[in-house]
Amino acid sequence: MNLYNHIIEAVIKSIICSKESTVLQKEKMDINKKNQLFEALNIVDTHAGMLLTVKKETGAKIFGCTCPVIPPEIPAAFNILLLKIPEFVLNSADLREKYAAVYDAIILPECSGTCSHNPFPSVKSFSFSFPPGWGEDASVALHNSFEKMLRTLCGINIREINIGELQKRTAVYEALRRALRGINAAKNEKPGIISSTDLFRIFETALVLPPDRALQLITPILEWMRSEKPAADLSVINAMLYGGRLFPHELADQIESMGINVSEDDSCTGRRCFDLSVNAESEYLFYELLDAYSYRPLTPCLRGPQERHELLYRLLRNHGIETVIFTDEGDCEFPPGHIDYLRIRLMRDGIDPLIITPKSLQKKISDYLEFF
């Protein structure tokens, strides 16, 4: 009997060890899969050559932008790609000289901030004017800004836009935005599957590549994330992180390591670049795009805090946001009183505001979490 029990016990241990080994192998394969997918996002050495090839093969012009807040679909209908200038280019004097041959023009937001400066003195630039308000009047003003930009830089009459071409181009941007929203949703549903730094790399890829090329790299990441099983949710709070021109991913990683899920961000190169949705098949797409873009909260440099609260911050509770974490670190010059105005309004709306710096982050987050 004892021998029989020993045999059964040995068999059970063998099965358990086999299952544990299978799990470990799967985890290892998953990590390898993730590494392969993110390795494909390393485009520093190939990016310029790829864009020059696109120009040669398609006859497209490429306009670079410092701040991706201008609708790319409308210039795309005229075979003009409006792409964010990569951070690795802005951070390298040698690469800036090389990329001067890539861009046909630089589109700058008409503001007084860092983004209004052309990083390529040898490349012509255009300051794009954004109207206050939203709706019909703002849409007309956006139309006029586009008309002036296209006429000034290319001699194009915006009235000659081909709606069929606009629909085709918009469909690709819509697919890209849906993929990015899917990735963000999967990150929130499966904490720890990717970091905020990983998310920053995905966002950057989506903004600096033509949308069809970006989709080729990003769609496999979305499919992989959807195939993974949810982990235990260690976060107790969903927060939005307020940043500047760049999505502050390193701060987000620190915050998430302490148990707060950064489910949204208010930065120029983060989630808000992909939160728009339109019907790409609409016969009135041109006007619908202008209207939709007129409702974007944009940036502190381009909209006052009252309008940004109305278009973004007052809606946060509908999206499960309990806390907004403010930081004024980075290369942006925030207008005086902007954060203070939003802080007061958020408290009235029942949302907790936290104002942090990299040095105060640990203490302020720890003190805040004591109440949960």
* pLDDT tens track for 133-186: 999 999 999 999 999 999 999 999 999 999 999 999 999 999 999 999 999 999
The token pair that represents 81 in the structure block: 């790609």
CA separation, residue 159 to residues 278, 294, 335 (Å)? 21, 19, 37
The overall average pLDDT reported for the chain is 89
**Residues facing residue 181 across a β-bridge:** none
Three-state SS string over 289-357 comes to: HHHHHHCCCCCCCCCCHHHHHHHCHHHHHHHCCCEEEECCCCCCCCCCCHHHHHHHHHHHCCCEEEECC
Rounded Cα distance, 285 and 279, in Å: 7
For the cut 60, the answer to whether the pLDDT of residue 16 exceeds it is no
Q: Determine the Cα angle at 291 with ends 287 and 295, to 5°.
A: 165
Confidence check: pLDDT of 287 > 50: yes
- What the block records as the tokens of 167 is 């629909």
CB contact set of 86 (below 8 Å; sequence gap of 6+): 44, 47, 204, 208
Handedness of CA 322, 327, 332, 334 (dihedral sign): positive
Distances (CA, A) of 230 to 45, 201, 221, 223, 303: 35, 22, 16, 14, 38
Residue 212: both structure tokens together: 């069809």
- Evaluate whether 197 touches 87 at the Cβ level (below 8 Å): no
User: Residue 226's closest CA among 179, 193, 186?
Assistant: 186
Work out the end-to-end distance of the chain between its first and last CA atoms, rounded to an integer number of angstroms.
54
| pLDDT value at residue 301 | 87
pTM: 0.89
pLDDT at residue 110 is higher than 60? yes
Q: What is the CA radius of gyration of the chain?
A: 24
At 155 the three-state DSSP class reads coil
pLDDT at 115: 86
Partners of 265 in beta bridges: 241
- % residues pLDDT > 90 (the chain): 74
Look up tokens 């041109």; give the residue: 286
**Residue 238 and residue 322 in contact, taking contact as beta carbons nearer than 8 Å:** yes
Identify the helix (H) or strand (E) that includes residue 125.
strand 125-128
Exposed/middle/buried for residue 85 (C-beta within 10 Å: 0-12, 13-18, 19+): buried
